[in-house]
Amino acid sequence: MARVPQELLSQIMDNQLDIRTAKSCALVCRAFLTPAQTRIFHHLDCIMAAREPFLKLHGILAESPHLITHIQSVRIRFHQTPSLHTVPVLNMLSNVRSLLLQEIFWTTQSTEVLDAIYGLCRGPNLSSLRLSQVVELSGEVISRLVASPALTHLALSSVRFANTAVVDGLSFQHKIHLTSLELTTSSINLLVPWFVEGGCLTGLRHAICSWDFRKETTLQTLLDASATSLEELQLDTTFEFTALRRPPQNLSLAGNTALRSLDVKLLLHPGTFSPWLVELIGSHSNPTTLSRIILTVILPPKPGVTDWVLFARLFNEQRFSGLQTLGLRFQRDARTSYQALKTVMADASEPFSRLELGGVFRCRGDERRNDGEDEGEGSDEAEEDEEDDESEDGEEDDEQGESGEDDEGDRDPWNI
């Protein structure tokens, strides 16, 4: 019987096997052992609930230290004051490449736990750091968290600082070169100047940012700092157009010559929506590179009439010759989404039809499960994106953890 190459075994187990199956494979033969262990121990989920799993894991790692290098992804989630029994395990980890800190009230944590987290953040191989729903931060804390010289992916989602003087404590222990940055936080204006001053954004390729049009924003500064490198931009507006008394502030994409993909999520408001969006997209000075535009529209309870012709005609110009995908998605209940689709096609049927014949234009509604409606063209992808990422806490072998990195990834809800 011919031997299966070790590289192929590793690839199969990394991409195809669940944890339970990988444990069975580890018992098959010696050739299966290392790739199976790599899969089993790749991700560690610390939700700070039970004492026994961490004691068991500490014993396993102390007896077989070669397994420590297999742990490359860690999620730390605090629903309560964490057990100090997690600290010895965290202090052993030396090869963590991806770290997620989730639901943490920073000032209530013990010094031992915080020092263990800071130690992970100083790791020479840590390339991805994500903070989600972490509150009571300070400039000094952020500076200590972005301490790895290998850091290229940083996400700050729903983080909150203890005070607005956060910039006073911000500094870089090592210069970092980010290629991916997510700033979906109200503190974006405090953080962007810090990143720009530190020279972190000159090679930025992927950005996800929240955007409040009602306020002065440093988002334009971010776009300018990454002008020649930014390839993918996702904007999530944080306001309702109906609350505006004057036209929304806009951004310019004139300097972003490498931009290939633009995603915008906003609440539709008649009369303001189309001119604003046309101005945003039309500002791109090198439209031949722009190949993908996805617009997610959150519909108000009673959508009014919107000038879709103005928006549709923009893409029938020769200047957008590189456009391969133009997607419109309407989010509300099935009935409202269906009516919006009919309105769009009736209002701008000719220009949109030409794009559709070219395989460029796609339009759909989003049926929400809790609405109970069956009408319209429902889409389940949005719900898939919001799948619960709860871990298997309290179950047997929880210390190895089942990989949870997929639910934090940037999956495309359009699947196109």
From first to last of the 416 residues of the chain, give the pLDDT tens digit.
457 676 676 666 666 667 777 777 777 787 777 778 888 888 888 876 567 778 888 899 999 999 999 999 999 887 666 567 788 899 999 999 999 999 888 888 889 989 999 999 999 999 999 999 998 888 889 989 999 999 999 999 988 887 765 566 677 767 889 999 999 888 888 889 889 888 899 999 999 998 876 667 789 999 999 999 999 999 987 655 455 566 667 889 999 999 999 999 877 665 566 777 888 888 987 878 899 999 888 776 665 666 777 788 888 767 788 888 888 887 766 666 667 777 777 777 777 777 777 778 877 766 544 433 333 333 333 333 333 443 333 333 443 444 333 343 343 332 32
- How would DSSP label each residue in 29-90? -HHHHHHHHHHHHSEEEE-S--SHHHHHHHHHHHH-GGGGGG--EEEEE-SSSPPTTHHHHH
Residue 415 resides in a domain? no
Total count of domains within the chain: 2
Residue 253 resides in a domain? no
Within this chain, do residues 49 and 110 fall inside the same structural domain, yes or no?
A: yes
Helix (H) or strand (E) holding 127: none
Give the burial class of 201: count Cβ atoms within 10 A of its Cβ; 0-12 exposed, 13-18 middle, 19 or more buried: buried
Within this chain, do residues 48 and 138 fall inside the same structural domain, yes or no?
A: yes
- Write down the pLDDT at residue 293: 92
Residue 71 resides in a domain? yes
CA dist., res. 171 & res. 221, Å (int): 19
Q: Considering only CA atoms, which of 45, 18, 42 is closest in space to residue 394?
A: 45
Residue 366 resides in a domain? no
Within this chain, do residues 119 and 27 fall inside the same structural domain, yes or no?
A: no
Residue 1 resides in a domain? yes
DSSP strand pairing (153-157 vs 232-237):
unpaired
Within this chain, do residues 51 and 37 fall inside the same structural domain, yes or no?
A: no
The per-residue b/e assignment along 22-47, b for 16 or more CB within 10 angstroms, e otherwise, is: bbebbeeeeebebbbbbbbbbbbbbb
Residue 188 resides in a domain? no
Within this chain, do residues 67 and 88 fall inside the same structural domain, yes or no?
A: yes
Those residues with Cβ within 8 angstroms of residue 71's Cβ, 6 or more apart along the chain or in another chain: 41, 42, 43, 44, 93, 95, 96
Residue 49 resides in a domain? yes
Domain final residue pick, 134, 162, 190: 162
Within this chain, do residues 6 and 69 fall inside the same structural domain, yes or no?
A: no
Within this chain, do residues 128 and 47 fall inside the same structural domain, yes or no?
A: yes
Within this chain, do residues 106 and 31 fall inside the same structural domain, yes or no?
A: no
pTM of the model: 0.79
Within this chain, do residues 24 and 103 fall inside the same structural domain, yes or no?
A: no
CA dist., res. 42 & res. 68, Å (int): 9
Within this chain, do residues 104 and 35 fall inside the same structural domain, yes or no?
A: no
Residue 99 resides in a domain? yes
Q: Which domain holds residue 31?
A: 1-41
Within this chain, do residues 20 and 115 fall inside the same structural domain, yes or no?
A: no
Helix (H) or strand (E) holding 182: strand 180-184
Domain final residue pick, 118, 136, 162: 162
Within this chain, do residues 79 and 136 fall inside the same structural domain, yes or no?
A: yes
